[in-house]
């Protein structure tokens, strides 16, 4: 069947109309809205609309503009307006256009309004509607997300169907980009824009294995066979069996087995703080969770397999699904062989993919045999079929078959000891590239340097003559140079005449060798892992690899320079989002520089993005990079040594029994001063002050001198961010010295600075510190307001540590308000959040424990202990709502990227 080719731009997201009574289903409406937004769809809800219009006019207009009708029903039929025969609830259902899919969910009840019962009876007989029961808002959210994902796969054609292969970096773009979410979502799986073809039996069998108690399943098959897409579909089907749902971990950009635990941690929202082994944090985070992990593309890090058995032993309700081209061969592993598509399904896939490039393509008596023979020649391998089908725009099936027969019989697709199907896909890639011109083939090879996707500007930079023209005298490129290229009509000058980078990239997308998707307002591109392998082989053979990798590093060095200042102010969210998209490329650039002992540029890339690494919980990884420089035996420049000392010591400020950390930080400060870097001098001063304030015998006098000097320095350079942080540290010095009034003044001034500059991370830090000071001064109401601001900002930016700090402040407020049960609940929620986020090992700046201990030792200690246990079971959203004293499900933080978290200094 042929479908119209619909292209939706990011501002034209599919709209989901939500119909229900408002008050009785407020929590369920919130759950449905969250599920819709997790799929990057637009919820259309009465309470979100403009008010000046009559209600019936409003929802009639909404319905006409919506793509899916989602109805929620419980006990009430709803109000019937004067001169109307039915309630708004029934009217919305009646007005739903006939061609709009209807997903309906009914909450179980024995006390339903009679008219609602009649409406539901009518709905049951409507064959246009899908109809399900639910009991809790959490169950509803899972149903809505799963059903919408299935519906999208079945009903809506998108601009670029995803290739049925593993691993697919473009799948990551279908999730929120950037650093990982703060522990709460029950299902975090990519949402492919097209459905699987012919895999229903596989999904059922894999789901059965997991349901029967199998805890370790490896999906094994050749590259391009469709393991990733199958794993995602099977995980989505199995997710309701796990209380904490399913999480996808993309390992396509991970080449070092030792980095596997860190990648799993990031996908779970567990921070690599560097103060404890990441495996310890993972084990703690997973110990009490019922969750399914999907680890994609494991064959390149197979040596990390023993770490998976360790996690399974530590977390009894954890299950793991792995995709790999080879078995892991560890205890407990059960394999599932992913076979090629059956003949009829292979033809279906060919037709579906052909529609994407030639919407009027159909199977006819004249071409049917040729299509079947094409699929047979390609062994039913999905990626090979899709690459070939993309050519029907210019070749008939008969011409395609002739070219395939001729090419595949003579091409050598790589090592002859590869499995037959692996050779098939490699030969198909080679055949596809033979249909490109020389400039397009060169660009494909160069694009192999990217990890996890890339932007058009980045492709233009590494694909230009600059990428192979050798290194400049400094081996560097300015941020302005990158901006100039990015702003030109086609980017950097193409490798040959008219066939510039943009045109070549478009040809690669048309050929399905490069995938395209959108992230925020910026288009992104990616290569399938097996295509990227091929591209890298060609790049190595060309002799251009060193120059192209250097160009890649120079591009991201310039990106870091551009981001450095904006990360501290109003551009914070935008840059966190963008850098989150580029995280794997940043790592790859850093790895290239480290491997080449290019310590100066490696340190520069690390330090320009200091705030990004800090707020996203990646300082532990940066620390290992800089320790590599310090232990290399090479002579480091003064500025590089300052940076390396800073990163290797800052996260250990609280472990300094002999004063060595403080001494190294003092050396870092002096080196920054000598090399004329006031920002570095100030940042290192903050860490030195923290080291001096730690422990049982703090050196407050020296800490004050260090921070007063840093404050003067930041004021002289006009750095509002630095000034606000210095004021926070001076406030902490004052607290240590018992001068509450001075501390209050410093924290108030810091908050005012961050409010003016738009620094959300700084606002959170300042408001939290101010809350404790005001609590100590006896102003409980003011403290509650400050802690509420800290919680609100932290929830809005998805920062688990900030939420935990705010909850702990609210514990003290509740205790002083004689609300013992609430204090216990919030304490339990904060404790669980720290454990699940990997933030439970290091030092904390909080005083809530003294209030909690008083309650536990008091006459109601048993009730408080029970409340703590109950609080550990709260979701993050429920804990935030409890802290802010709003109805659970009613808290509506502003929508900002998940990747904008921060830490208290």
Each residue's pLDDT tens digit, 347-360: 999 998 888 788 88
Q: In what order do the strands lie in the sheet with 454-455?
A: 454-455, 522-526, 515-519
- CB-based contacts of 779, cutoff 8 Å, min separation 6: none
Average pLDDT over residues 772-786: 93
Residue 189 has pLDDT above 90, yes or no: no
Closest CA to 244 of 337, 166, 160, 315: 315
| DSSP assignment of 73-115 | ESS------TT-SS-HHHHHHHHS-TTS-EEEEEE--S---HH
Of 421 and 334, the structure prediction assigns the larger pLDDT to: 334
Quick one: three-class SS letters along 439-498? HHHHHHHHHCCCCCCEEHHHHHHHHCHHHCCCCCCCCCCCHHHHHHHHHCCCCCCCCCCC
Q: Which residues of 703-729 are buried (b: 16+ CB within 10 A; e: fewer)?
A: bbebbebbbebbeeeebbbbbbbbbbb
Which helix (H) or strand (E) segment holds residue 269: the answer is none
Which residue is associated with the tokens 């403009």? Answer: 50
Each residue's pLDDT tens digit, 312-333: 999 999 999 999 988 898 888 9
Give residue 436's pLDDT band: very low, low, confident or very high (50, 70, 90).
Answer: confident
Which of 101-115, 400-414, 545-559 is modeled with the greatest confidence? 545-559
- CB-based contacts of 563, cutoff 8 Å, min separation 6: 575, 578, 579, 608, 609, 612
Cβ atoms within 10 A of the Cβ of 211, count?
11
Radius of gyration of the chain (CA): 29
62 and 33 Cβ atoms separated by less than 8 Å: no
Average pLDDT over residues 335-353: 90
Of 473 and 716, the structure prediction assigns the larger pLDDT to: 716
Each residue's pLDDT tens digit, 795-854: 876 678 889 999 999 999 999 999 999 999 999 999 999 888 877 666 678 889 999 999
Residue 511 DSSP label = T
Lowest mean pLDDT among 122-131, 192-201, 418-427: 418-427
End-to-end, the C-alpha distance of the chain in Å comes to 59
Residue 172 has pLDDT above 80, yes or no: no
- CB-based contacts of 8, cutoff 8 Å, min separation 6: 14, 158, 159
Of 643 and 43, the structure prediction assigns the larger pLDDT to: 643
Residue 391 DSSP label = G
Distances (CA, A) of 447 to 440, 521, 886: 11, 22, 50
Q: State the pLDDT at residue 550.
A: 96
Residue 398 has pLDDT above 60, yes or no: yes
Residue 155 has pLDDT above 70, yes or no: no
How many residues in total does the chain contain? 905
Q: In what order do the strands lie in the sheet with 291-296?
A: 187-188, 246-250, 291-296, 318-324, 216-220, 334-337
Residue 12 has pLDDT above 60, yes or no: no
- CB-based contacts of 483, cutoff 8 Å, min separation 6: 562
780 and 762 Cβ atoms separated by less than 8 Å: no
**Tokens standing for 153?**
């796969």
* Long-range CB contact pairs, 75-80, < 8 A, 24+: 75/24, 75/107, 75/109, 75/111, 75/112, 75/113, 75/116, 76/21, 76/24, 76/113, 76/116, 77/113, 77/114, 77/115, 77/116, 77/119, 78/21, 78/116
| DSSP assignment of 833-848 | HHHHHT-SSS-----H
Q: State the pLDDT at residue 876.
A: 84
Helix axis angle, 137-155 to 227-238, nearest 10°: 150
Residue 155 DSSP label = H
**Tokens standing for 373?**
């023979």
Which residue is associated with the tokens 């799929």? Answer: 39
Distances (CA, A) of 821 to 411, 811, 818: 72, 10, 9
Q: What region, left, alpha or beta, does residue 40 occupy, with left being phi > 0 and alpha being psi -120 to 50 degrees? A: left
**Tokens standing for 374?**
């094409």
Q: State the pLDDT at residue 751.
A: 94
Residue 180 DSSP label = P
Closest CA to 159 of 383, 392, 355, 429: 355
Each residue's pLDDT tens digit, 213-257: 999 999 998 778 889 999 999 999 999 899 888 999 999 888 899
Of 852 and 48, the structure prediction assigns the larger pLDDT to: 852
Q: State the pLDDT at residue 758.
A: 84
Give residue 391's pLDDT band: very low, low, confident or very high (50, 70, 90).
Answer: confident
Residue 209 has pLDDT above 90, yes or no: yes
CA distance 725 to 707: 10
Report how many helices (DSSP H) and strands (DSSP E) the chain contains, helices first: 40, 14
Give residue 194's pLDDT band: very low, low, confident or very high (50, 70, 90).
Answer: low
Q: State the pLDDT at residue 656.
A: 62
Helix, strand or coil, per DSSP, at residue 259 = helix
CA distance 427 to 414: 8
Each residue's pLDDT tens digit, 54-105: 455 666 777 877 889 999 999 998 888 777 788 888 988 888 888 888 999 9
Which helix (H) or strand (E) segment holds residue 315: the answer is none
State pTM to two decimals.
0.67
822 and 882 Cβ atoms separated by less than 8 Å: yes
CA distance 767 to 731: 12
CA 482, 483, 484: angle at the middle one, nearest 5?
90
Residue 423 has pLDDT above 80, yes or no: no
Which of 81-95, 291-305, 561-575 is modeled with the greatest confidence? 291-305
Which helix (H) or strand (E) segment holds residue 188: the answer is strand 187-188
CA distance 382 to 393: 19
Give residue 181's pLDDT band: very low, low, confident or very high (50, 70, 90).
Answer: very low
Lowest mean pLDDT among 115-124, 741-750, 761-770: 115-124
Per-chain mean pLDDT for the chain: 82
CA distance 802 to 143: 30
């Amino acid at each position: 069947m042929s479908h119209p080719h619909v292209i939706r731009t990011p501002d034209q997201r599919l709209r989901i109309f939500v119909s229900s009574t408002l008050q009785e289903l407020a929590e369920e409406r919130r759950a449905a809205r969250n599920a819709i937004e997790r799929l990057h769809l637009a919820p259309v809800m009465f309470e979100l609309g403009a008010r000046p219009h009559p209600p019936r006019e409003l929802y009639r207009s909404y319905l006409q503009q919506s793509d899916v009708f989602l109805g929620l029903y419980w006990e009430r039929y709803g109000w019937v307006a004067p001169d109307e025969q039915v309630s708004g609830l029934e009217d919305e259902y009646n007005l739903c256009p006939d061609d709009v899919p209807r997903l309906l969910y009914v909450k179980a009840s024995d006390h339903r309004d009679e008219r609602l019962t009649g409406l539901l009876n009518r709905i049951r007989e409507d064959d246009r509607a899908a109809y399900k029961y639910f009991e809790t808002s959490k169950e509803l959210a899972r149903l809505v997300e799963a059903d919408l994902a299935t519906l999208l796969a079945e009903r809506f054609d998108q601009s670029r169907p995803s290739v049925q292969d593993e691993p697919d970096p473009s799948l990551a773009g279908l999730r929120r980009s950037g650093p990982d979410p703060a522990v709460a979502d029950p299902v975090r799986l990519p949402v492919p824009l097209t459905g699987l073809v012919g895999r229903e039996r596989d999904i059922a069998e894999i789901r059965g294995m997991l349901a029967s108690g199998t805890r370790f399943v490896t999906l094994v098959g050749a590259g391009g066979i469709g393991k990733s897409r199958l794993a995602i579909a099977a995980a989505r089907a199995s997710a309701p069996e796990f209380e904490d749902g399913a999480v996808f971990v993309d390992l396509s950009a991970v080449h070092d087995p030792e980095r596997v635990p860190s990648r799993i941690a990031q996908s779970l929202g567990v921070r690599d703080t560097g103060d404890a082994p990441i495996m310890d944090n993972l084990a703690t985070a997973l110990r009490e969770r019922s969750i399914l992990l999907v680890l994609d593309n494991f064959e390149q890090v197979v040596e990390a397999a023993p770490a998976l058995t360790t996690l399974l032993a530590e977390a009894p309700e954890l299950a793991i699904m792995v995709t790999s081209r080879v078995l892991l061969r560890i205890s407990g592993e059960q394999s599932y062989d992913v076979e090629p598509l059956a003949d009829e399904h292979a033809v279906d896939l060919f037709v579906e993919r052909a529609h994407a490039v030639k919407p009027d393509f159909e199977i006819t008596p004249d071409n049917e045999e040729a299509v079947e023979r094409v699929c047979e020649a390609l062994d039913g391998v999905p990626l090979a079929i899709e690459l070939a089908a993309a050519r029907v725009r210019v070749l008939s099936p008969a011409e395609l078959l002739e070219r395939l027969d001729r090419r595949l019989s003579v091409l050598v697709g790589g090592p002859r000891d590869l499995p037959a199907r692996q050779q098939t896909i490699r030969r198909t890639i080679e055949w596809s590239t033979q249909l490109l011109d020389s400039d397009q083939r060169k660009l494909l090879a160069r694009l192999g340097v990217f990890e996890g996707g890339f932007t058009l500007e980045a492709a233009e930079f590494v694909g230009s003559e600059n990428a192979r023209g050798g290194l400049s005298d400094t081996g560097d490129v300015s941020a302005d140079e990158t901006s100039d290229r990015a702003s030109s009509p086609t980017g950097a000058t193409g490798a040959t005449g008219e066939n510039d980078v943009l045109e070549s990239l478009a040809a690669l997308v048309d050929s399905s060798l490069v995938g395209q998707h959108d992230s925020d307002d910026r288009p992104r591109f990616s290569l399938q892992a097996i295509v990227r392998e091929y591209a890298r082989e060609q790049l190595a053979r060309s002799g251009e690899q060193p120059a192209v990798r250097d160009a890649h590093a120079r591009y991201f060095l310039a990106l870091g320079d551009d981001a450095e200042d904006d990360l501290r102010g109003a551009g914070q969210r935008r840059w966190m989002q963008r850098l989150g998209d580029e995280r794997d490329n940043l790592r790859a650039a850093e790895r290239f520089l480290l491997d080449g002992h290019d310590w100066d540029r490696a340190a520069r890339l690390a330090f320009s993005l200091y705030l990004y690494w800090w707020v996203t919980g990646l300082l532990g990884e940066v620390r290992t990079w800089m320790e590599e420089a310090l232990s290399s035996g090479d002579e480091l420049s003064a500025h590089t040594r300052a940076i390396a000392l800073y990163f290797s010591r800052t996260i250990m400020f609280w472990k300094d029994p002999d004063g060595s950390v403080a001494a190294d930080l003092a050396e870092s400060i002096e080196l920054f001063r000598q090399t004329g870097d006031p920002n570095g001098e100030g940042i290192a001063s903050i860490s030195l002050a923290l080291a001096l304030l730690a422990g049982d015998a703090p050196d407050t006098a020296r800490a004050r001198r260090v921070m007063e000097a840093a404050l003067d320095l930041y004021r002289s350079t006009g750095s509002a961010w630095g000034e606000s942080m210095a004021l926070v540290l001076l406030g902490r010095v004052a607290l240590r010295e018992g001068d509450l009034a001075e501390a209050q003044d410093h924290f108030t001034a810091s908050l005012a600075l961050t409010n003016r500059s738009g620094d959300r991370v700084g606002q959170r830090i300042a408001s939290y510190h101010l809350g404790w000071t005001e609590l100590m001064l006896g102003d409980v109401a003011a403290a509650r307001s400050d802690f509420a601001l800290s919680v609100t900002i932290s929830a809005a930016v998805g920062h688990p540590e900030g939420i935990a700090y705010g909850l702990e402040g609210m514990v003290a407020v509740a205790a002083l308000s004689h609300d013992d049960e609430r204090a216990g609940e919030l304490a339990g929620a904060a404790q669980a959040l720290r454990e699940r986020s990997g933030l439970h090992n290091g030092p904390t700046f909080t005083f809530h424990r003294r209030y909690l201990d008083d309650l536990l030792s008091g006459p109601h200690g048993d009730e408080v202990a029970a409340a703590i246990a109950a609080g550990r079971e709260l979701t993050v959203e429920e804990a935030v709502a409890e802290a802010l004293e709003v109805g659970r499900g009613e808290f509506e933080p502003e929508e900002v990227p998940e990747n904008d978290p921060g830490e208290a200094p």
